[in-house]
Amino acid sequence: MSGIKKLALGIVILSATLFALQIDPFPKNGTLKNVFNTNCLQMTQSQQMLKAYIMKGLHSTFDDPEGSLKRAIPAYDKRFREIKEYFQSRLKDNPGAVQAFDQAQAIWDESKKILEAPPTKEGALKLRANFKQMIPLLLKGSKPAANGGLELLSLTGKLCRGPMKITIDYLLKLWGAEMPDYEADIQAIIDDFHKNLKELEANPLNNDKTRALLEKARKGFMFYEMMYNSKSRFIPNLLSRKADDNFKIIRQIKAEYKKQLK
């Protein structure tokens, strides 16, 4: 192999390493703040796995969706069970919280099997429906333990999932999936994004850095509003990368908030 080809291959591998789906491990001996934040990450990364599943179904190799899923599914499954055990132990006297995680676990177990199988449009729509049910259950199972402003981390998660959800819906449309409520769903996501952004902008924990990052997230979201209203067809690779870019911005905002939370 020539030096140029080796360099090109190295760049491709590096790109996949930098941008492929990464599942952070459960924070061993972590504080409630750290575990609560990781549970919020569970919610968002379910969407990232769905996006990778759809990209694989579209026969895209961009950011290595097949390899990303192979690595992510077992890591996510392990972390899911550790988070469930943590909160069910901590909230054992709260039957609603315990039951919420049991219900979320059943949904995840079904979803895991779909993610591991060859992708289909029907599978993608089922995952979309499953995760729509699972995310609120993960929040319900952890929220009773929230204190000291931890709800703020959930709100940043919602801001992160908005672009991811629009991307997923758009990719499903490109794939030819039947989505009769597409327009209403997208408009609801757009409205929720601006509502959540406004609430975060009013947060007293903001500093110059978080305000700049929130503004960056707002400007980035304009792409999705433009895309939704455009008659042009957008390529999956661009949409996937844009959603992941927003994910990184929101994680930076979360990191700043975490520094200030008790």
Burial of 118 (0-12, 13-18, 19+ CB in 10 A): exposed
Give pLDDT tens digits for 89-138. 999 999 999 999 999 999 999 999 999 999 999 999 999 999 999 999 99
pLDDT digits (tens, 9 = 90+) for 187-225: 999 999 999 999 999 988 899 999 999 999 999 999 989
Domain ranges, ordered by start, for the chain = 12-260
> How would residue 13 be classed by pLDDT, with cut points 50, 70 and 90?
very low
- Give the pLDDT of residue 229: 84
Listing DSSP states for the chain in one string gives --HHHHHHHHHHHHHHHHHS---PPP-TT--HHHHHHHHHHHHHHHHHHHHHHHHHHTT--TT-HHHHHHHHHHHHHHHHHHHHHHHHHHTTT-HHHHHHHHHHHHHHHHHHHHHHSPP-HHHHHHHHHHHHHHHHHHHHHHGGG--TTTHHHHHHHHHHHHHHHHHHHHHHHHHT---TTHHHHHHHHHHHHHHHHHHHHT-TT--HHHHHHHHHHHHHHHHHHHHHH-SSPPPHHHHHHHHHHHHHHHHHHHHHHHHH--
Give the model's confidence band at 262: pLDDT under 50 very low, under 70 low, under 90 confident, else very high.
Answer: low
